[in-house]
């Protein structure tokens, strides 16, 4: 569950970055649009070209925005769509270059055609960057071919030839440099991801019990302290439950410590798999477990705690050799937080209730402040004397 949440957060962050890149691209389009408008006002472009350019860039940006916003890009092999956005940006530029009248103005637009390649640094390796650059170059060569056929008077063989050579040189250098920079970014990203994974692993080790995989005492005390502070600000109450495996020493002495570890792990799994997502459960120490139940009063906690007690009572373990099967039960004590008290006092009252459950015969749940929780059910015979085998 935690891994799924982390992956979803990672994808959400990536999508947010892609949306920001699209916004940056729209800013670049706006700069080019300013130049197109200037050419129109100078009589270098017909009005319909200005309109067509504006509508085209709006359409292109809207399409990519909706693809990212709706998550459709995640179905693609490369969801960043850097190559697609770069090539799409060339189309409106070629339209303007074809119709602009002055050769020097055409060279200015050709210079702006290198801008999408700069954005390609954010997501294109050397091969894909070269592919993008050569595609742009080939498109411009084709455009010059069309001009040479239909409007040869607008083509200067010497000037346009020099411009083609310079344009190709710029494309090659930008592609190689962009691919190198992108490679460095990928290495840095990989190291950052490895570092984040290491930090997550360390955090898990710090906050989780090695044997049971549940939260450890340190983390549980942090949570109950936060719950105490939250309630002090007027939030709903919470209840804590302390559970202890009955006759655990007998299990260790009769079946060995490996069986004891199996019992603790199974009890923890049975309880942890039955609590709510807002609850916090873990190993409190030894064979004791602590359950923190936010937004839960004593009555609701008593019903829940007894349900957990019955779930554990149904566990069975196969002993080795002639030892026979092993059945375990738990006893529990629950206490509802009282406004103004320290969380250590809440834990102390739950611990006192736990020992009362032990004294009353085990395999039961007792609530602090009452002789017995009305929801508790006694499934075990009452011993002749209290605590015959210790806790």
Q: Within 10 A of 11 (CB to CB), how many other CB atoms are there?
A: 13
For the chain, where are the E strands, in sequence order?
238-245, 280-285, 288-294, 316-317, 326-327, 330-336, 365-367
Which candidate, 64, 178, 65, 58, places its Cα nearest to that of 117? 178
Q: Which helix (H) or strand (E) holds 120?
A: helix 115-120
For the beta sheet containing 288-294, the strands, ordered from the edge strand earlier in sequence to the opposite edge, are 280-285, 288-294, 238-245, 330-336, 365-367
Angle between helices 217-232 and 343-359 (to 10 degrees): 120
Q: Are 270 and 245 in contact (CB under 8 A)?
A: no
287 in active site:
yes
Which residues are bridge partners to 242 per DSSP?
Answer: 290, 333
Q: Which of 151, 197, 227, 287 is catalytic?
A: 287
Cα–Cα distance measured from residue 217 to residue 223, given in angstroms and rounded to the nearest whole number: 10
**Burial tier of 93 (Cβ tally within 10 Å: 0-12, 13-18, 19+):** buried
Structure-token match 């040479």, residue found: 148
Active site residues: 287
């Amino acid at each position: 569950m935690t891994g799924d949440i982390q992956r979803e957060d990672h994808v959400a962050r990536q999508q947010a970055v892609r949306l920001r890149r699209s916004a940056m691209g729209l800013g670049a389009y706006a700069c080019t649009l300013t130049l197109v408008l200037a050419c129109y006002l100078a009589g270098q472009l017909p009005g319909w070209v200005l309109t067509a350019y504006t509508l085209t860039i709006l359409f292109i940006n809207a399409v990519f925005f909706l693809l990212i916003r709706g998550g459709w890009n995640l179905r693609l092999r490369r969801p960043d769509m850097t190559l697609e956005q770069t090539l799409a940006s060339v189309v409106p530029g070629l339209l303007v270059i074809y119709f602009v009248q002055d050769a020097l103005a055409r060279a200015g637009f050709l210079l702006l055609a290198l801008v999408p390649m700069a954005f390609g640094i954010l997501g294109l390796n050397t091969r894909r960057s070269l592919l993008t650059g050569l595609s742009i170059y080939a498109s411009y060569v084709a455009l010059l071919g069309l001009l040479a056929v239909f409007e040869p008077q607008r083509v200067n063989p010497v000037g346009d030839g020099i411009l083609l050579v310079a344009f190709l040189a710029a494309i090659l250098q930008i592609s190689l440099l962009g691919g190198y920079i992108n490679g460095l970014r990928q290495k840095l990203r990989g190291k950052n991801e490895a570092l984040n994974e290491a930090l997550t692993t360390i955090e898990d080790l710090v906050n989780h019990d090695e044997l049971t995989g549940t939260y450890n005492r340190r983390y549980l005390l942090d949570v109950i302290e936060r719950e105490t502070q939250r309630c002090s600000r007027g939030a709903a109450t919470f209840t804590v439950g302390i559970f202890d495996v009955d006759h655990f020493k007998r299990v260790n002495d009769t079946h060995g410590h490996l069986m004891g570890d199996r019992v603790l792990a199974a009890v923890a799994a049975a309880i942890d798999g039955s609590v709510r997502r807002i609850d916090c459960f873990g190993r409190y120490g030894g064979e004791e477990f602590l359950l923190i139940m936010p937004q839960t009063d004593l009555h609701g906690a008593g019903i829940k705690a007894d349900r957990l007690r019955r779930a554990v009572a149904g566990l069975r373990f196969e002993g080795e050799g002639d030892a026979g099967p092993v059945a375990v039960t738990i006893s529990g004590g629950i206490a509802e937080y009282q406004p103004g008290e320290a969380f250590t006092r809440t834990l102390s009252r739950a611990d006192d209730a736990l020992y009362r459950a032990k004294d009353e015969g085990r395999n039961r749940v007792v609530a602090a402040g009452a002789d017995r929780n009305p929801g508790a059910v006694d499934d075990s015979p009452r011993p002749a004397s209290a605590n015959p085998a210790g806790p």
